[in-house]
Amino acid sequence: MSLLQALRYFFREALVNLFRGWKVSLLAVLTITVSLCLGGTFLLASRNLSQAVERWRAETRVVIYLRPDTSGDDLQRLAREAAEPPWVAAVTPVSPADARRRFQQSFPSLGGLVEGLGEEPLPASLEIRLRGGARPAAFEAWLAGWRKRPGVSLVDDDREWLRQLETLIAVLRGVGFALGAVLLGAAIFTIASVIRLTAYLHQEEISILRLVGATEFFIRGPFYAEGLLQGLLGSGVALVGLYAAFRAVHARVASSLFASMLASDFLSLRQLAFLVLLGSLAGLLGAIASLRRESL
Amino acid sequence: MVRLEHIGKRWDDGAELLHDISLALAPGDFCFLTGASGAGKTTLLKMIFREEVPSEGQILVNGRNVSSIPARKIPYLRRTIGVVFQDFRLIPRKTVFENVTYLPRILGLDQRGQRKAAFHALRRVGLAHRLSAFPPQLSGGEQQRVAIARALINEPEILIADEPTGNLDPDLSREILRLFLEVNLRGTTVILATHDRDTIERAGGRVVTLDHGRLHSDLELVGSEPPRLEPPREEAEGGDGEAGDAEAPA
């Protein structure tokens, strides 16, 4: 029997077994689905968050808040000075009056808070947009220099919270993989149990196969194919579920920052292939584990 | 063809099941293996197709010591030996066709080849018209004939039967015995284990008797009522004499 014939036989028998024992097979498929759905969700969230961080990194700003007594001329002078280094793309000087107007536009319901106080409540600032790419060591020295200047009250560096966000993404990814791995382990165990049960139900047939001269490869092949198919089915269902959930969240991207952070893009083809491969491997591993010590 | 040389078998606890059995069967021999229950008949048969391994001695099948062949080669040995059991060992949820075509499937025959092989094997046992039936739809005698067809499908050199008539009434037993004799007439070496002395005495032939794991006797018996056998027909002659829905091989 050629390998192709054997594979055709294995998968045909595996499909028959799946169909006949669909209830127990469903259990195995669902455990794979749940574990891959969870792993996929974390993968999707971390992918979108990473992309958001990349976008924000490209738009990284440094805001230098100046003391309230800074004059308009000083603001313009400092703005020119701030625009000198090569890593600065643009500098926008924001006067206290501009800052108040922005606040009122951004938070109309709170606009009254900054009205009628006599003097401008918000300080002047320099909004510095940085160029992309790596920051030279001189950049940090430059920032430190601004922090020490007497006319400066605060230097707000976006990269700080981006770093924190990246740490959060790394934690999220780690937790996702850990949870996914635990659930995948459970799925492998379930598949192993299902395959062992199927093998037990086919004991008589296996004894006949052995009696008439079937090789171990021929006897075990259909069970391996069954595990593989359960894994494939489980990962297929997981991807469909994941996509449906993604579409539901993606529909709110325009109106929700949360949705735009988590569901701007679906998983890449490579990531999808990885999940399918993982599910199939889990199924195959389950089958191998279940029959490893079985004399069948 | 089959040669047993000083075969002994001990269980792990030291109990002796077989002791110093020597026996030789030439190609085309027919041999009854008899003895009371527990005499060691089944174990001896299992050793020939390597389901059991002797503790002492060696078993040669076609000059090859089967107890020393590597595990991966056992399937190839078994493809040359047909085995029939008392309890038929048919899969109830599979059709007669599926039950008899395990070996053709293993050998990679296509559907057409499988149907052809099944048709010929079932015609030899007079059941070519029941290809699509399921075992529970058949009588005990028919089920045993399907089991024999399964054993014969690859034209084995040796046919081993362990109490094949044990579950059948006397008429069906005679019918099944005649089948084995016909198979033997075509050149297959047949070893038939039974404790049914009546069957043996009526049929006659070579009778090997085991007693408490020892070879008690090995003699030729003249049958009181030997079955009348028809000479083997050529496959090309066609027709098995059965009416009904016999299907030509596709």
Does B118 or A115 have the greater pLDDT score?
B118
The residue of chain B nearest to residue A221, with distances taken between CA atoms, is: B106
| List of chain B residues whose C-beta atoms are within 8 Å of the C-beta of residue A5 | 108
Domain presence at residue A79: yes
Q: Note whether residue A136 is domain-resident.
A: no
pLDDT at position B237 is: 44
CA B22 to chain CA centroid, nearest Å: 21
User: What distance in Å separates the CA atoms of residue A171 and residue A290, rounded to the nearest whole number?
Assistant: 34
Give the pLDDT score at B76: 93
Interface of A with B in 179-208 (CB under 8 A): 204-205, 207-208
Residue A216 is encoded by which pair of tokens?
């171990």
Residues A247 and A267 in one domain: yes
Residue B214 in tokens: 């020892």
Same domain? A87 vs A51: no
The token duo for A81 is 């000075």
Minimum mean pLDDT range among A1-5, A27-31, A273-277, B34-38: A1-5
pLDDT tens digits, one per residue of A15-58: 988 888 888 888 888 888 988 888 888 888 888 888 888 877 77
Please state, in angstroms and rounded to a whole number, the distance separating the CA atoms of residues B234 and B204. Answer: 27
Residues of chain A contacting residue B49, judged by C-beta atoms under 8 Å apart: 211
Has residue A288 got a pLDDT over 70? yes
Task: Judge whether A139 lies within some domain.
Answer: no
Q: Are residues A221 and A81 in the same domain?
A: no
* Same domain for A237 and A205: yes
A145 assigned to some structural domain: no
**pLDDT at residue B231 is higher than 70:** no
CA atoms within 13 A on the CB side of B112: 1
Task: Please say whether the beta carbons of B68 and B58 come within 8 A.
Answer: yes
Q: Residue A270 domain-assigned?
A: yes
Same-domain pairing of A251 and A112: no
- Residues of chain A contacting residue B83, judged by C-beta atoms under 8 Å apart: 211
CB contact under 8 Å between B105 and A9, yes or no, is yes
CA separation for the pair B126, B233 (Å, rounded)? 13
Give yes or no for A296 touching B (CB within 8 A): no
Judge: B107–A9 Cβ closer than 8 Å, yes or no. no
CB contact under 8 A, A211 and B77: no
Q: Nearest to residue B90, comparing CAs of A200, A212, A78?
A: A212
Contact A284, A230 (CB under 8 A): no
Tell me the C-alpha distance between B192 and B187, whole Å: 15
Q: Decide if B82 contacts A213 (C-beta within 8 A).
A: no
At B236, the pLDDT band (50, 70, 90 cuts) reads very low
Give the number of beta-carbon pairs within 8 Å between A and B: 45
Report CA torsion sign: A94, A96, A98, A99: positive
Rounded distance, CA A143 to CA B200, Å?
108
Q: Who contacts B38 (Cβ-Cβ below 8 Å, separation ≥6)?
A: B212
Q: Which residues of A touch B94 (CB under 8 A)?
A: 205
Query: Does A156 map to a domain?
Result: no
Give the number of domains in chain A: 2
Q: Are A283 and A227 in contact (CB under 8 A)?
A: yes
List C-alpha distances in Å: B123 to B42, B83, B118, B139, B148: 29, 18, 8, 17, 11
Q: Which residues of B touch A13 (CB under 8 A)?
A: none
Backbone angles phi, psi at B162, to 5 degrees: -105, 105
Which residues of A fall within a CB distance of 8 Å from B79? 212-213
**Contact A234/A279 with Cβ under 8 angstroms?**
yes
CA B150 vs CA B97, B157, B228: distances in Å: 9, 14, 24
Nearest CA in chain A to B72: A215
Contact B106 A214 (CB under 8 A): yes
pLDDT at A133: 67
A71 and A41 both lie in a single domain: no
Confidence of residue B244 (pLDDT cuts 50, 70, 90): very low
Instruction: Note whether B76 contacts A212, CB cutoff 8 Å.
Output: no
Residues of A in contact with B72 (CB under 8 A): 215-216
Model pLDDT for residues A180-192, shown as the tens digit of each residue: 888 888 888 888 8
Two structure tokens written together for B51: 């389901």
pTM: 0.71
> Which DSSP category does A294 fall into?
-
Residues near A116 by Cβ (< 8 Å), separated by ≥ 6? none
For chain A, positions 5-34, list CB contacts with chain B under 8 A.
5-6, 9
Length of chain B: 250
Same domain, A174 and A283: yes
Q: State whether B75 and A6 contact (CB < 8 Å).
A: no
Contacts of A207 in chain B (CB under 8 A): 89
**In this structure, what DSSP letter does residue B227 have?**
P
Q: Which residues of B touch A (CB under 8 A)?
A: 49, 51, 72, 75-79, 83, 89, 91, 94, 102-103, 105-108, 150
Same domain for A275 and A171: yes
Looking at the partner chain, which of B72, B83, B108 has a beta carbon nearest the beta carbon of A211? B83
Q: Which of A6, A208, A215 comes nearest B102 by C-beta?
A: A208
The helix-helix angle for A216-250 and A22-58 (nearest 10°) equals: 50
Q: Residue A295, class by beta-carbon neighbours within 10 Å (0-12 exposed, 13-18 middle, 19+ buried)?
A: exposed
Q: Which amino acid is at B13?
A: D
Å between A202 CA and nearest CA of chain B: 9
CA distance A44 to A262: 7
- Per-residue pLDDT, averaged over A104-117, amounts to 75
Interstrand relation of B189-193 and B30-34 (parallel, antiparallel or unpaired): parallel
Q: Is residue A146 part of a domain?
A: no
| A211/B105 CB distance under 8 A | no
CA distance B51 to chain A (A): 9
B79–A213 CB contact, under 8 Å: yes
DSSP assignment of B84-144: EETT----TTS-HHHHHTHHHHHTT--HHHHHHHHHHHHHHTT-GGGTT--GGGS-HHHHH
A123 and A106 inside one domain: yes
The pLDDT score that the predictor gives to residue A106 is 77
Q: Which amino acid is at B49?
A: F
Distance from CA of B201 to the nearest CA of A (A): 30
In a shared domain, residues A206 and A91? no
Shortest distance between the Cα of A30 and any Cα of chain B, in A, equals 28
The partner residue sitting opposite B78, judged by closest CB among A212, A216, A218, is A212
User: CA–CA distance from A55 to each of A49, A92, B168 (Å)?
Assistant: 10, 20, 83
Least confident of A51-60, A230-239, B117-126: A51-60
- Helices marked H in chain A: 3-20, 22-58, 72-82, 96-106, 137-148, 158-201, 203-212, 216-250, 257-262, 269-292
**How many angstroms away from the CA of B131 is the closest CA of chain A?**
19
Q: B30: which 2 tokens?
A: 């027919």
Do A101 and A20 share a structural domain? no
- AA identity, residue A152: V
User: What is the band of B50 on the pLDDT scale with cuts at 50, 70, 90?
Assistant: very high
**B51: chain A residues, CB-CB within 8 Å:** 211
Q: What CATH number is given to the structural domain containing A69?
A: 3.30.70.3040
- What type of residue sits at position B26? A
Of residues B198 and B233, more confidence is placed in B198
Interchain contact, A212 vs B103, CB within 8 Å: yes
Confirm whether A90 is domain-assigned. yes
Give the chain B residue whose CA is nearest to the CA of A13.
B105
Residues of chain A positioned with their CB less than 8 A from the CB of B105: 9
**Structural domain harbouring A125:** 61-131
pLDDT in the model for residue B119:
94
For residue A280, name the pLDDT band (cuts at 50, 70, 90).
very high
Closest CB to B78: pick one of A1, A6, A213.
A213
Residue A132: is it exposed, middle or buried by C-beta count within 10 angstroms (0-12/13-18/19+)?
exposed
Smallest CA–CA distance, residue B61 to chain A, in Å, is: 16
A66 and A50 within one domain: no
- The residue with greater pLDDT, A176 or B146, is B146
